[in-house]
Amino acid sequence: MVNTKVNLCGIEIDNPVIPASGTFGFGYEFAEIYDINILGTFSFKGTTKQERFGNPTPRIAECTAGMINSIGLQNPGIDAVIKEELPKLKSCFHKPVMANVSGFSLEEYAYVCAALDKEPQIGWIEVNISCPNVTKGGMDFGTSEEAAASVTKAVKKATTKPVIIKLSPNVTNIASIASACEAAGADGISLINTLLGMRIDLRTKKPVIANKMGGFSGRAIFPVALRMVYQVKKAVKIPIVGMGGISSARDVIEMMLAGACAVQIGAENLINPFACKEIIESLPDEMNKWGIKDISEIVGGAH
């Protein structure tokens, strides 16, 4: 018998597998096809203060071993999430859930986190800092140590929940930004968010995505994500949630050896809605194959 339980920022979860924000909605849609309580937890759809329609269409493009999206944080807004989405989720998911938060100013991040702080079902707050800072000319909060630290400090003041900062890979030194977040009080780091990519339609000779560029995700980015998790593990002592191209139980183990204590599955959910369930079910056999009795003991084992 193997042990798949891990501790994520002080909360024990049954296994390290977590569907990533934006690929699992608010969970209850997937609950119609399988019991989502098999999951360690999941990160629900990125939530902002106000309702957002998102970016213009088309905003999805296929590519080799992956996809590009430019959804634009489409969501119903924090009030609707608390009043409508969380009660529906509570009926089918009986574990703490991870809330993914986005914002366009420090005040907006803090407002949304303060609102979620009152919700007992929220276990962790995952803060997406790949959003443009409207007071700094649209530069992403996650592209500088100073900006990343400022968001971390703002949300830590607004909530008592564990705060996990989600980092963008579109930077020169992701380890230094992770270190700045840790110094500012972050309880954990999740990485990587999507890479920046594009496709061009040969018939129209124009970009496929209306916004021209979007977030590149899928199996193709796994080696990049693995490398960045490895680098950040060397730089911080707080827990890391690794993501980017994970599609199998073997990938889960590899990512944890690089330094992740839990992992998120993103684009694979859009290819196969049973992906997380199948990975969780195959994890014990994969652990036995490699002589692993307790999965938490392999975290950072490649260092």
Give mean pLDDT, residues 209-222: 95
pLDDT-based confidence at residue 133 (cuts at 50, 70, 90): low
Please provide the average confidence, as pLDDT, over all residues in the chain.
95
Give mean pLDDT, residues 107-111: 97
pLDDT of residue 128 exceeding 70: yes
Domains of the chain by residue range: 6-298
Question: Which residue carries 């839990």 as its tokens?
Answer: 262
pLDDT of residue 137 exceeding 80: no
Tell me, rounded to whole angstroms, the distance of Cα 140 from its chain centroid. Answer: 17
Comparing CA positions, the residue from 32, 28, 46, 13 lying closest to residue 93 is 28
Give mean pLDDT, residues 233-241: 98
Q: What is the pLDDT of residues 196-211, one digit of tens each?
A: 999 999 999 999 999 9
pLDDT of residue 165 exceeding 80: yes
CB atoms within 10 A of CB 222: 21
140 vs 206, which has greater pLDDT?
206
- Pick from 70-74, 95-99, 233-237: least confident: 70-74
Residue 131 pLDDT: 73
Residue 132 pLDDT: 63
Burial-class residue 87 by CB neighbours within 10 Å (0-12, 13-18, 19+): exposed
Percent of the chain with pLDDT over 90: 95
pLDDT of residue 135 exceeding 80: no
Helix (H) or strand (E) holding 180: helix 174-183
Q: What is the pLDDT of residues 29-72, one digit of tens each?
A: 999 999 999 999 999 999 999 999 989 999 999 999 999 999 99
Distance CA 237, CA 286 (A): 27
Residue 90 in tokens: 């509570």
**What does the DSSP assignment read for 53-70?**
--SPSP-EEEETTEEEE-
Residue 140 pLDDT: 84
CATH topology of domain 6-298: TIM Barrel (3.20.20)
pLDDT of residue 161 exceeding 80: yes
Residue 67 pLDDT: 96
Residue 134 pLDDT: 54
Instruction: Spot the catalytic one: 131, 181, 261, 276.
Output: 131
pLDDT-based confidence at residue 136 (cuts at 50, 70, 90): low
Round the CA-based radius of gyration of the chain to a whole number and report it.
Answer: 18
pLDDT-based confidence at residue 130 (cuts at 50, 70, 90): confident
Comparing CA positions, the residue from 124, 177, 128 lying closest to residue 148 is 177
Q: Is 131 a catalytic residue?
A: yes
